[in-house]
């Protein structure tokens, strides 16, 4: 199937004010015809993907702003309905591509909830270690690109240096740097290799000094402070009513973390703090995420101490395929293996909602089963999507140059916005 797409089809870029009004309705009000209308994106280095913003400018001041999303619409949710529960897992990796582990977790937990099973303790501990590694990895990309947007090039280079280490660990356990699909319903794809624990220990040893390095570059840097302090401030009440989650909410002083309020995977048994800031501006959100990295290290350290040998999958052959070695001696295992990889497992009729604290905020997965091996409906409540909706409020009245700082500070990923 070829649908010709030519430059003549391009009408997205050139809309008149009347057409804009028709297209965006109440989402975009234009106060004065004399103001300048600026289209920012979808090709822009600082919109963190293919986001398009329509900005009404009075001089340099942002008067109004509308988000134009959908440039990365992938049809993930619809596509998942055509796949078995296990196969649909690979689609979740590509939502929030900075923290695929978190997406996997949200989806896998929802499937497990629907099936009514729980992963064994060893799997849970490994999951927590990798989730927190993913959180740090995601924050490193956020910090690097956020600083790059505000013209601090070296932070980007340092952040990506450490991120490579985290990706190496992911590759070690899952065979893939980014799209891991490592967590499976009922446990894990396979056990971690022997090098895993030493690698994490080494990470715990060297990483605190690196966080200190980033902070040394930014924390008291006058340019950084001028670009981030009192920019894009939002009060706690407003942040709640706009549905902000994650560090964007905690930067406004609201104590809300899914790991604490609706614990999953035994997070309630770990000793960690939820960093809070009160100012609600770009700097507060930056500082919140930096402090979160320290807390993630604490959690990883505690999880490492709990890592005991044991099974990594539940002992239910209807959900988890049998180990390879069993296939040679058990007919039962061959049948289970064949059934699982051709047909998949069936989930009962019903619906569940499971949310987790992804690096960006509340990542929720709504899942409806209808007794077949394929989900009847999958829907994701993605934090970036909701956080982005607050951008017109955050950016109103700021300078156009600060808009870049604000977009960076709410840490959006277009993959999970458009999905």
Partner 1 sequence: MGIEQKLGSMGVVTYRLEDLVNWGRTNAMWPMLFGLACCAIEMMSTQASHYDASRFGMELMRPSPRQSDLMIVAGRVSRKMGPVLRRLYDQMPDPKWVIAMGDCASCGGIFNNYAIVQGVDEIVPVDVYVAGCPPRPEALIDGIMTLQEKIRGEKLTTWAEK
Residue numbers at the binding site for partner 1 (CB under 8 A): 1-7, 9-13, 42-45, 49-50, 70-76, 78-79, 90-91, 93-94, 97-98, 141, 144-145, 156-158, 160-161, 163-164, 167, 177-179, 414-415, 418
Which of 242, 222, 215 has the alpha carbon at shortest distance from 395? 242
From residue 38, alpha-carbon distances to 7, 11, 185, 257, 281 in Å are 21, 15, 47, 37, 24
Q: Are 232 and 406 in contact (CB under 8 A)?
A: yes
* Between 88 and 244, CB nearer to partner 1: 88
Q: Are 251 and 415 in contact (CB under 8 A)?
A: no
From residue 207, alpha-carbon distances to 97, 140, 159 in Å are 22, 12, 11
* Between 138 and 354, CB nearer to partner 1: 138
* Between 158 and 294, CB nearer to partner 1: 158
Nearest distance from C-beta of residue 32 to partner 1, angstroms: 28
* Between 114 and 141, CB nearer to partner 1: 141
Nearest distance from C-beta of residue 73 to partner 1, angstroms: 5
* Between 164 and 195, CB nearer to partner 1: 164
Query: What's the token pair of residue 394?
Result: 């955050």
Nearest distance from C-beta of residue 123 to partner 1, angstroms: 25
Q: 53 has which bridge partners?
A: 40, 67
Q: Are 370 and 349 in contact (CB under 8 A)?
A: yes
Nearest distance from C-beta of residue 68 to partner 1, angstroms: 9
Nearest distance from C-beta of residue 232 to partner 1, angstroms: 22
* Between 187 and 383, CB nearer to partner 1: 383
Nearest distance from C-beta of residue 279 to partner 1, angstroms: 30
Nearest distance from C-beta of residue 79 to partner 1, angstroms: 5
B/e letters for 368-396, b = 16+ CB within 10 Å, e = fewer, are: bbeeebbbeebbbbbbbbbbbbbbbebbe
Query: What's the token pair of residue 5?
Result: 């797409």
φ/ψ (deg, to 5) at 96: -105, 95
Give the DSSP per-residue string, 262-276: S--TTGGGS------
Q: Are 291 and 130 in contact (CB under 8 A)?
A: no
Sort residue 417 into left (φ over 0), alpha (ψ -120 to 50) or beta: alpha
Nearest distance from C-beta of residue 266 to partner 1, angstroms: 30
* Between 69 and 125, CB nearer to partner 1: 69
* Between 10 and 34, CB nearer to partner 1: 10
């Amino acid at each position: 199937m070829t649908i010709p797409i030519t430059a003549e089809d391009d009408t997205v870029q050139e809309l008149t004010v009347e057409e804009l009004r028709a297209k965006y309705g109440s989402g975009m009000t234009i106060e004065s015809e004399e103001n300048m209308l600026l289209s920012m994106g979808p090709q822009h280095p600082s919109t963190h993907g293919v986001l398009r913003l329509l900005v009404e400018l009075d001089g340099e001041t942002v008067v109004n702003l509308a988000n134009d999303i959908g440039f990365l619409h992938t049809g993930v949710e619809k596509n998942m309905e055509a796949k078995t529960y296990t196969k649909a897992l690979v689609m979740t990796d590509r939502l929030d591509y900075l923290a695929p582990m978190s997406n996997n977790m949200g989806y896998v937990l929802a499937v497990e909830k629907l099936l009514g099973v729980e992963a064994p303790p060893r799997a849970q501990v490994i999951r927590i270690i990798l989730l927190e590694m993913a959180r740090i990895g995601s924050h490193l990309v956020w910090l690097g690109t956020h600083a790059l947007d505000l013209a601090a090039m070296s932070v980007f280079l340092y952040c990506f240096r450490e991120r490579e280490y985290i990706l190496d660990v992911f590759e070690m356990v899952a065979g893939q740097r980014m799209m891991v699909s490592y967590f499976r319903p009922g446990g894990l794809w396979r056990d971690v290799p022997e090098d895993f624990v030493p690698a994490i220990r080494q990470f715990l040893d060297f990483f605190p000094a690196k966080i200190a390095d980033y902070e040394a570059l930014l924390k008291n840097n006058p340019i950084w402070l001028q670009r981030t302090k009192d920019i894009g401030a939002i009060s706690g009440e407003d942040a709640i009513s706009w549905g902000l989650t994650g560090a964007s909410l905690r930067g406004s002083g609201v104590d809300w973390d899914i790991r604490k309020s609706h614990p999953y995977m035994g997070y309630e048994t770990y000793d960690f703090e939820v960093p809070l800031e009160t100012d609600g501006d770009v700097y507060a959100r930056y500082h919140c995420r930096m402090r979160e990295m320290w807390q993630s290290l604490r959690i990883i350290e505690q999880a490492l101490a709990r890592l005991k040998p044991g099974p990594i999958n539940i002992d239910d052959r209807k959900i988890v395929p049998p180990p390879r070695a069993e296939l040679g001696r058990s007919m039962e295992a061959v049948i289970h293996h064949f059934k699982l990889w051709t047909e998949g497992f069936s989930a009962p009729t019903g619906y569940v909602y499971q949310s987790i604290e992804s690096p960006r905020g509340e990542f929720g997965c709504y899942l409806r089963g209808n007794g077949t091996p394929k989900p009847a409906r999958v829907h994701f409540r993605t934090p970036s999507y909701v956080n982005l909706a607050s951008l017109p409020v955050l950016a109103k009245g700021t300078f156009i140059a600060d808009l870049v700082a604000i977009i960076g500070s709410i840490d959006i990923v277009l993959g999970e916005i458009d999905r």
